[in-house]
Chain A
Amino acid sequence: MDVFGIRIPPVFSLLIWITLWEVAGQMDLAFILPPFSAVVLELFQLIARADFQSAAWLTFQSFVIGMGISIVAGITIGFLMGSSRMANSILGMWVNIFASAPLSSLVPVLMLLFGLGQTTIVVTVVLFSTWIIALDTFAGVNHISPSLSEMGKSFGASRRQLLTKVLFWAALPEILAGIRMGLIRAVKGIVIGQLLVSVVALGRLFRTFSDNFQFEEFWALTIVLFIFALLFSSAIGWLEQKVEYYANTRF
């Protein structure tokens, strides 16, 4: 959008929304909505709190472990799906079912089986993110020009060489896109898990804040999570840019 001939990037429209939030908060339009400025102030205090830091660290560890598992599992499943029509039709069915199902309904089951601690968070992350990674990996594998794998075979590539030197890199742009989506879903999964298990870590903080009508704190915590999700997603976006130079000219 241009104002007086100056280009204003789209992100700035968020400023308008934030202003609206601030105004609504100052005017006390809804008691659940404190002014944005108050939330921001609270945010800085929140980050400094010991209970927040330990909760966040715990959650972060589980997140990383879970993502590691789901990335490996998702890429493997995606390649398996691309390897034969039979594998595609069987695995594809299951992956698609779980990719669009309300996995949050499974979280109570996970809680029963794995307790209320870190294991559940890890399993939640794996459950929420694996399927989209598998689907996007498969899309990437499908996209690979057949002559690229023929070329590898014609020069004597073993199956392992073909996979690691050709196929993986050729599908990498889609794999990264899948990981980015998987990350976002994993964060959603963690939040849902924490909300349902409001006894430990971040869930407990959420519950405490909302029970005690501490809305500045509640929104601050929410924004922290939102920022966390966006930061991770941007990090993968940066990686995706690194491979962009060949993503569009694959032939």
Chain B
Amino acid sequence: MADTTFYRLVSVIAVFIAWEIAGRIPISVAFPTFSSTMAALYDMTADGSILRAYGQTLQPLGVGVLISAGFGVAIGVSMGLNRLFQWFWEPIFVVLQASPVAALIPLITYAYGIGLTAKTVAVIMLAAPIIVLNTYKAVRNASPSLIQMCRSFQGTRMQEIWRVIIPNAAPIIFAGLRLGVAAGFIGVILAELLITPTGIGDLISYNRSIAAYDYMYAAVFTIIVFSAVMVGLLEKAEINFFRPEKKKGH
């Protein structure tokens, strides 16, 4: 699909040009041009501040996602296999998923201080419900005909779970993990903006406070790009490992 990539590139360039024009008018004192934002970005990359910032941000993100994934998948699988667990956990996670849990982030400081732990908790708060619910639905909706097939060949319950249900549910569980990573990223940025400035959130807040808008926008720009790239890579991994029928050339 060479021409789609071409037109996408054209649309991206068009957006950058519109940004540049808007910055030159200017539509607002606080709206830097595309070129000055890129210059600021170059600056921050060159002196390493971007790298340091992401290094700090990715720590609670990574830890938080790992913990959410570990506990989330475990709870989700148990919910999918056991009706009592489902009864107990489903409503609370549905409520958490639908509610603006961001409102609770300022409270985290009272319980966990302002360090790594607090931000990891923020990640877990946002990522866990999605992972749990996706995993639970995947397991609950595992193909009934495959399960019956396993039983018809006298498979044990353990075999049924590990050889049929979990592999069958794996693509959707992975999709849930992907959504969890995206949600966790939101959590850590919020924590950095609301609790203590570190990492990339700090770059935004600090530069705003000194009115260095081009640097601030550059930081936001990297977040959008980082998120797009991260989600894109996870999607590719998902297709590669779990959905070979969607791979190009098949």
Q: Do chains A and B touch in the complex (CB under 8 A)?
A: yes
Binds A, one of B63-71, B96-104, B138-146: B96-104
Q: Are the C-beta atoms of A109 and B11 separated by less than 8 Å? A: no
Q: Are the C-beta atoms of B100 and A106 separated by less than 8 Å? A: no
Q: Are the C-beta atoms of A32 and B111 separated by less than 8 Å? A: yes
Q: Which chain B residue lies CB-closest to A18?
A: B92
Q: Are the C-beta atoms of B100 and A105 separated by less than 8 Å? A: no
- With an 8 A cutoff between CB atoms, is A157 at the interface? no
- With an 8 A cutoff between CB atoms, is B154 at the interface? no
Q: Are the C-beta atoms of A106 and B220 separated by less than 8 Å? A: yes
Question: Which among A8, A112, A187 is the interface contact of B100 at CB below 8 angstroms?
Answer: A187
Which chain A positions have C-beta within 8 A of B201? 105
Mostly, the B contact residues are: helix
Mostly, the A contact residues are: helix
Q: Are the C-beta atoms of B8 and A14 separated by less than 8 Å? A: no
B196 shortest CB reach to chain A, Å: 14
Mask, A103-126, CB within 8 Å of B = 1, is 111101100110000000000000
Q: Are the C-beta atoms of B193 and A108 separated by less than 8 Å? A: yes
What CA separation (Å) do A224 and B110 show in the bound complex?
A: 22
B155 shortest CB reach to chain A, Å: 27
Instruction: Say yes or no: A108-B208 contact (C-beta < 8 A), given A10-B90, A31-B110, A192-B102.
Output: yes
Q: Are the C-beta atoms of B98 and A11 separated by less than 8 Å? A: no
Question: Which among B28, B102, B107 is the interface contact of A191 at CB below 8 angstroms?
Answer: B102
Q: Are the C-beta atoms of B107 and A1 separated by less than 8 Å? A: no
Q: Are the C-beta atoms of A105 and B99 separated by less than 8 Å? A: no
Complex A-B: 20 CB contacts under 8 Å = A1-B84, A8-B87, A13-B88, A32-B111, A102-B182, A102-B223, A104-B102, A104-B190, A105-B189, A105-B200, A105-B204, A108-B193, A109-B217, A113-B28, A188-B102, A191-B103, A196-B194, A226-B100, A229-B100, A233-B98
Question: Which among A14, A104, A113 is the interface contact of B92 at CB below 8 angstroms?
Answer: A14
Contact count band on B: 35 or more
- With an 8 A cutoff between CB atoms, is A251 at the interface? no
Q: Which chain A residue lies CB-closest to B7?
A: A90
B12 shortest CB reach to chain A, Å: 8
Chain A positions 179-229 with a Cβ under 8 Å from a chain B Cβ: 184, 187-188, 190-192, 195-196, 206, 210, 218, 221-222, 225-226, 229
Q: Are the C-beta atoms of A206 and B189 separated by less than 8 Å? A: no
- With an 8 A cutoff between CB atoms, is A101 at the interface? yes
Q: Are the C-beta atoms of A184 and B186 separated by less than 8 Å? A: no
Q: Are the C-beta atoms of B8 and A90 separated by less than 8 Å? A: yes
Contact count band on A: 35 or more
A94 shortest CB reach to chain B, Å: 7
A135 shortest CB reach to chain B, Å: 13
- With an 8 A cutoff between CB atoms, is B213 at the interface? yes
- With an 8 A cutoff between CB atoms, is B106 at the interface? yes
Closest 9 CB pairs of A and B: A191-B100, A112-B30, A1-B87, A89-B4, A102-B186, A226-B99, A188-B100, A101-B227, A100-B182
- With an 8 A cutoff between CB atoms, is B24 at the interface? no
Which chain A positions have C-beta within 8 A of B217? 109
Instruction: Say yes or no: A16-B98 contact (C-beta < 8 A), given A109-B220, A195-B103, A206-B103.
Output: no
Which chain A positions have C-beta within 8 A of B190? 102, 104, 192, 195
What CA separation (Å) do A14 and B96 show in the bound complex?
A: 12
Q: Are the C-beta atoms of B189 and A102 separated by less than 8 Å? A: yes
B111 shortest CB reach to chain A, Å: 6
Q: Are the C-beta atoms of B213 and A94 separated by less than 8 Å? A: no
Q: Are the C-beta atoms of B220 and A113 separated by less than 8 Å? A: no
Chain B positions 163-177 with a Cβ under 8 Å from a chain A Cβ: none
Which chain A positions have C-beta within 8 A of B179? 100
What CA separation (Å) do A205 and B203 show in the bound complex?
A: 27
What CA separation (Å) do A206 and B91 show in the bound complex?
A: 26
- With an 8 A cutoff between CB atoms, is A243 at the interface? no
Which chain B positions have C-beta within 8 A of A94? 11
- With an 8 A cutoff between CB atoms, is A239 at the interface? no
Q: Which chain B residue lies CB-closest to A16?
A: B88
Which chain B positions have C-beta within 8 A of A27? none
Q: Are the C-beta atoms of A230 and B98 separated by less than 8 Å? A: yes
Which chain B positions have C-beta within 8 A of A90? 4, 7-8, 11
Which chain B positions have C-beta within 8 A of A50? none
Which chain B positions have C-beta within 8 A of A23? none
Q: Are the C-beta atoms of A93 and B100 separated by less than 8 Å? A: no
